[in-house]
Copies of this chain bind each other. A is one copy, B any other.
């Protein structure tokens, strides 16, 4: 057993964009386990856009990430030491140990998962929080019917890629929005969406109108800002918009909505949600998503950064859309 645990702490809050200087890596000794405790070696860290929001010290749905503490976040790993009869070395687990090599728990907050049919890393993506986020927003807020058009932003990402593929399975026309031709090609050719619009091409409204010739009935938004504005212009009467993320505004940019009058004139329903408030749907969603991934019917893609030290840069790159698919850090 190694004697040291490396961790990444948040040491300052961003003023504007987050930078590497907001983080610091430290090495701390591994303490012996107390009776009932379990030690997990983390294999993958999940990097997610919501973490940027928690770096700010302002009112939001979750308390801010504390300064001087390990960056919080989802992890998957393997039990390496146990003084708890419910857990055995070799057990593969999903937990929230954050940006560090090892985590210790009394078992609470840990969930045993089967890594034989679904790759362990997928429990941080399509078969984890991002997948359930997609499932919830699509089913519970967008509620699309077969034949309707569903649009989704960040369509090649961890959440968006699941939204688009589930929409196709429901018999909808699925239109992605993504940044750049490579991501758009992937969304159509690999994920099987009907069309994908490149929001970096500079003519989003027109391109979205062309990609959704019958208008958009449901829009799953991960971005906010001008992308949301453009989607609203294409919404059909009685359209539903699930607000899942606002990555465009995480650095504190004023993000106004250009034309809220459309909510009235198009009788739209717009609803924000966070998936952790809807635990009642998790097990059904995870079962469905796990089955689809195991059968090869739900595709996903990962950007994997190597080693704990790479986590800050990988995280900052993800906020700028430099990742391609679910952003992970591997520690093994």
Q: How far is the CB of A49 from chain B (nearest CB, A)?
A: 11
Contact status A265-B228, CB under 8 Å: no
Q: Give chain B residues whose Cβ lies under 8 Å from the Cβ of A245.
A: 264
Copies in the complex: 2
**Do A61 and B263 form a contact, CB below 8 Å, given A269-B270, A271-B268?**
no
Q: Does A210 contact B (CB under 8 A)?
A: no
Which of B237, B254, B261, B267 is within 8 Å of A249, CB to CB?
B261
A246-287 interface with B by 8 A CB criterion: 246, 249, 254-261, 263-274, 277
User: Which B residue's beta carbon lies closest to that of A273?
Assistant: B267
In which size bucket is the chain A interface? 20 to 34
A11-59 interface with B by 8 A CB criterion: 53, 59
**In the bound complex, CA of A323 to CA of B224 (Å):** 38
**In the bound complex, CA of A267 to CA of B59 (Å):** 13
**In the bound complex, CA of A244 to CA of B267 (Å):** 9
Contact status A270-B273, CB under 8 Å: no
Contact status B267-A61, CB under 8 Å: yes
**In the bound complex, CA of A281 to CA of B228 (Å):** 32
**Do A266 and B272 form a contact, CB below 8 Å, given A237-B61, A256-B256?**
yes
A206-261 interface with B by 8 A CB criterion: 224, 228, 237, 243-246, 249, 254-261
Q: Does A108 contact B (CB under 8 A)?
A: no
Contact status A272-B277, CB under 8 Å: no
Contact status B269-A224, CB under 8 Å: no
A-B pairs, top 10 by smallest CB distance, nearest first, are A257-B257, A264-B272, A257-B260, A263-B272, A256-B256, A269-B271, A60-B265, A270-B270, A267-B272, A243-B264
9 A-B residue pairings within 8 Å (CB atoms): A59-B265, A60-B265, A243-B260, A246-B261, A255-B260, A264-B274, A266-B272, A267-B274, A269-B270
